Structure 1
Amino acid sequence: MNPLVTIITVNYRQAAITCELLDSLRELAYAPVEILLVDNGLETDETVRFQSRLPTVKVILSKENLGFAGGNNLAIQQAKGDYILLLNNDTLVPPGLLEPLVNLLAAEPAVGIVSPKIYYYDQPQMLQYAGTARIDFRTGRGADAARQQLDQGQFDQERATDFAHGACMLVRRQVFETIGLLTEDYFMYYEELDFSLRARQRDWEIKFSPATFIHHRESSSVGRFSSLKTYFMFRNRWLFIRRFGTKKEYRLFLTYFLTVGLPLNCLRFMLQGQWQHVQALWAGMRWNVKKGSLPGFVPARLFMTKEAS
């Protein structure tokens, strides 16, 4: 009998998009699966709607918006599977998604996490992810050779990777037991990088598998070009380096960040007349200077836009 896979997805006021995912999950060939859907920051209970699309889905209600990490953590603690798939609600999956990922983990006990190829939803052959390289702690940025590349078979080799992708990663249960849950300080963005790095620090391997794929809308919950995304990406890059960099790396990062990264991005947004993004950059900096203990959702509300809602 196949091992049980728990699939976890988090909805934040996007019932229509989430229903499209549920439609695709209904066609999965793999069994057995347990599907947990966290309805995050709910305004209206959509349980009946979700279960009309996928009767087996278990809906977990949270009146508070716990963010990506907090929402997933809520479900992870209830998951029964030997393997746990964290899957964004703005994705679509093929019927054969799970078999290659499960088989890889079953065959290689040292591998704790695996992610598949990820394509853009609106450009079905354009890659968003095919594994990533190590982050440069001086700049807080990593190299991603596959991003926005047309898939012509150049990334068809299974390989080790430094980071899994949060839109779709299958995690061995023992990884959570070893390193704990997702870090909720991030709220959204960078939490899978944090999780991946903590896993590698405990000697778990991470792999990219080209044998299967998903399609991803990318940042649909906040808007791809929203100031809310700017806030969290800018804030959390700093937080990530602060958590994992050495003292020397952190000092080099701050030098780059404050003399190059921040001024250039401010100038770019000012020239484009995007003042909310300028405010978001400074709010992200202030959050780190104050070393806030909360995920930062309250200041982030200042930059919520129609595009991000």
Structure 2
Amino acid sequence: MSNLCVIIVNYRTPDVTIACLESLLLAGEHQAFSGNNHELSIWLCDNGSNDDSVSRLTEWANRRLGKDAWHCLDVTSDKTNAVNGERKKMVMVLSDRNRGFSGGNNLCLRPALETNHYDYFLLANSDIEFTEESLGILMNDAASDSSKGIWGCSIVYGDTPQKVQCAGGWKYNPLLTTVKPVLEGTEVTRLVDAPPQQMDYVYGACMLVRSEVFLTCGVLNEDLFLYYEEIDLCLRARQKGFDLGWSRGAIVRHAHAYTTQKLKQSLREYHEMWGVLTITGKHYPYLLPWVLLIRCTAKTVLLAGRGRFGLIPWIYRASADYLWGCTEKDTERVNT
């Protein structure tokens, strides 16, 4: 028997999050999961939405799970009762502000790890929808190979589910800072015959992580507010001897970029540049001067060619903040 903790971060997308939760519950009830004695718990973070998300999610939880089946934790006033949720079906964590992908997930990860109750953690975007067998297949694959610390799913496009968005993860070129999804565009029916794939990191939209990985490597890097968090985690995990795996039969649908669309384009450009420099400076420091030159030049030409001149200063602002030694906490003003 394995205990699975699924962590989902909501930021102003209650309808999408509820659809994700509904699909998750169905997957947890499927024979492929429950029949193998796996146990499912959900930790849901509202990342300072400041809209009707909390009331909508509360209404859903009371109706779908029952008032006694879940627990609410407000990090601004109640940090000691998190462990009370370990035997609940769901724990909802309320953040006082938008802490980004890493910060929102870590609000759940830290107290959940302290319970020593979970064998695996599944980090899933709120715009993911699980197929009924996906959770059971993913868990069974992970249980069959203890050498792999982080597993990716077969991600398909939400609007064209017959096409693969990525098979487990992506390849990353650290000099050009380009990424390429593994088997993107492949027909789902062809995955069964696809050979094992090489990837540099597991796609963070839906990744299963053994608890030992977080206990050994630490939680997500909060210097990364948006983008590149999974690259950092996978690089740290591989340095500690954990391999990456692909569960080809675990198919999940992804409404690509739906969650990030809630942020202004200027902030997305800022955090993309910030993330590239942070990853390079930490893991490939010898490439940093070249990456800075190549990335700034390429993004300037690309944005100018599209007539998006107002976005160009954000590339250089992120570069300057990074070079001046600012941390993500120092730059919180850009996240509002």
- TM-score range normalised by the length of the shorter chain: 0.7 to 0.9
Match in the other structure for 1:63: 96
Ranges of 4+ aligned residues in structure 1 off by more than 4 Å: none
Match in the other structure for 1:220: 258
Q: TM-score, normalised by structure 1?
A: 0.87
Structure 1's 265 and 286: CA in aligned 2 closer, same or farther, altered over 3 A?
A: same
* CA-CA distance at 1:226 after TM superposition: 2.8
The alignment partner of 1:183 has SS state of coil
Higher mean displacement: 224-233 or 117-126: 224-233
Structure 1's 272 and 133: CA in aligned 2 closer, same or farther, altered over 3 A?
A: closer
Listed as ranges, the matches of 1:32-71 within 5 Å are 32-43=39-50, 44=52, 45-46=54-55, 47-52=57-62, 54-55=64-65, 56-71=89-104
* CA-CA distance at 1:116 after TM superposition: 0.7
Match in the other structure for 1:156: 194
Higher mean displacement: 101-110 or 4-13: 101-110
- Looking at structure 1, the residues matched to 64 and 268 of structure 2 have their Cα atoms a distance apart, in angstroms, of 31
Q: Is the 8 A contact 2:133 2:250 kept in 1?
A: yes
Q: Is the 8 A contact 1:19 1:53 kept in 2?
A: no
* CA-CA distance at 1:221 after TM superposition: 2.2
Listed as ranges, the matches of 1:195-274 within 5 Å are 195-223=233-261, 226-247=265-286, 249-257=287-295, 262-274=296-308
Match in the other structure for 1:121: 158
Listed as ranges, the matches of 1:1-309 within 5 Å are 2-28=1-27, 29=30, 30-31=33-34, 32-43=39-50, 44=52, 45-46=54-55, 47-52=57-62, 54-55=64-65, 56-79=89-112, 80-132=117-169, 134-151=171-188, 153=190, 156-159=194-197, 161-223=199-261, 226-247=265-286, 249-257=287-295, 262-295=296-329, 296-301=331-336
Structure 1's 105 and 151: CA in aligned 2 closer, same or farther, altered over 3 A?
A: closer
Structure 1's 227 and 126: CA in aligned 2 closer, same or farther, altered over 3 A?
A: farther
* CA-CA distance at 1:148 after TM superposition: 4.0
- Looking at structure 2, the residues matched to 214 and 279 of structure 1 have their Cα atoms a distance apart, in angstroms, of 37
Structure 1's 133 and 164: CA in aligned 2 closer, same or farther, altered over 3 A?
A: closer
* CA-CA distance at 1:52 after TM superposition: 4.1
Higher mean displacement: 64-73 or 74-83: 74-83
- The total of aligned residue pairs comes to 295
* CA-CA distance at 1:300 after TM superposition: 4.2
What amino acid does structure 1 have at the position aligned with 2:207? Answer: M
Higher mean displacement: 285-294 or 219-228: 219-228
- Looking at structure 2, the residues matched to 192 and 171 of structure 1 have their Cα atoms a distance apart, in angstroms, of 11
Q: Is the 8 A contact 2:170 2:202 kept in 1?
A: no
Q: Is the 8 A contact 1:22 1:53 kept in 2?
A: no
Match in the other structure for 1:306: none
The alignment partner of 2:183 has SS state of coil
* CA-CA distance at 1:276 after TM superposition: 3.6
- Looking at structure 1, the residues matched to 226 and 102 of structure 2 have their Cα atoms a distance apart, in angstroms, of 7
Match in the other structure for 1:305: none
* CA-CA distance at 1:263 after TM superposition: 2.8
- Cα deviation, 1:238-289, whole Å, max 9, x if unaligned, reads 1111110142x223323423xxxx2332233233332342232222222222
- Looking at structure 2, the residues matched to 269 and 98 of structure 1 have their Cα atoms a distance apart, in angstroms, of 40
What amino acid does structure 2 have at the position aligned with 1:299? Answer: V
Higher mean displacement: 265-274 or 76-85: 265-274
Q: TM-score, normalised by structure 2?
A: 0.81
RMSD, matched Cα: 2.2
- Looking at structure 2, the residues matched to 152 and 94 of structure 1 have their Cα atoms a distance apart, in angstroms, of 15
Higher mean displacement: 57-66 or 181-190: 57-66
Q: Is the 8 A contact 1:119 1:214 kept in 2?
A: yes
What amino acid does structure 2 have at the position aligned with 1:48? Answer: T
- Looking at structure 2, the residues matched to 53 and 263 of structure 1 have their Cα atoms a distance apart, in angstroms, of 53
Higher mean displacement: 37-46 or 272-281: 272-281
Structure 2 gaps of 5+ residues are: 66-88
Larger helix proportion, structure 1 or 2? Answer: 2
What amino acid does structure 1 have at the position aligned with 2:9? Answer: V
- Looking at structure 2, the residues matched to 170 and 132 of structure 1 have their Cα atoms a distance apart, in angstroms, of 12
* CA-CA distance at 1:37 after TM superposition: 0.5
